[in-house]
Amino acid sequence: AVVERGGVEELFLSGGEARYLEEEGRLELRPAPGKVAVAQGQVWVEGQRLRYQNDTGEALLEGPLEVRREGEKPLSGKAGSLRYLLDEDRLWLLGGVELTQGGRTTRAERALLREKEGYAFLYGKVESRDERGVVRGERVRYALKTGEVVVLGGVAGEFRGD
């Protein structure tokens, strides 16, 4: 679907099919489980139902969500829902965020993806774990290309020696 920015339309997308019944003069909708995708740069997020409000430029994608980012170190993940603010180019993953890349798994309550900058900023009881140990914090910067994390606030950790 294509919607011109600036109007007051509200757009809903989900799986299923729509058919115009000419004899009856009505549109028949058959909702079905399906996927709706939102892309920002190399990040691809799939969910169940998208609601887009044209007057505010806000898209809400209901989950459960699957997150992917292709590249040298592919990233996969999941979240409960997504909020994308088109005018600000801000993509928020909300609820039970989990990102896996290489041997590292990082969990948080929410994440702001800044694809153009190459980072995600994770918030709320963040825990990042790999074979060397675990790092915890309230705010973490996550490098989308490499999976490296830097704790920006509330740092704690456990590390294993060789």
pLDDT at 26 over 70: no
What pLDDT is attached to residue 22?
A: 61
CATH superfamily, domain 34-159, is Lipopolysaccharide (LPS) transport protein A like domain (2.60.450.10)
Burial 42-56 (b: 16+ CB within 10 A, else e): ebebbbbbbebebee
Q: What whole-number distance in Å separates Cα of residue 42 and Cα of residue 49?
A: 21
What pLDDT is attached to residue 4?
A: 47
Which residue did the predictor score with more confidence, 98 or 16? Answer: 98
Which residue did the predictor score with more confidence, 123 or 53? Answer: 123
Which residue did the predictor score with more confidence, 84 or 37? Answer: 84
pLDDT at 92 over 60: yes
What pLDDT is attached to residue 1?
A: 44
What pLDDT is attached to residue 2?
A: 44
What pLDDT is attached to residue 35?
A: 80
- Which residues lie closer than 8 Å to 49 by C-beta, 6 or more apart? 12, 13, 14, 36, 61, 62
pLDDT band of residue 3 (cuts 50, 70, 90) is very low
Enumerate the domain spans of the chain: 34-159
Over residues 91-100, the mean pLDDT reads 97
pLDDT one-digit tens code per residue, 124-137? 999 999 998 999 99
- 107: amino acid identity, one letter: R
Please report, rounded to a whole number, the percentage of residues in the chain having pLDDT higher than 70. Answer: 77
What pLDDT is attached to residue 79?
A: 98
Neighbours of 21 (CB within 10 A): 9
pLDDT at 57 over 60: yes
Q: What whole-number distance in Å separates Cα of residue 65 and Cα of residue 99?
A: 12
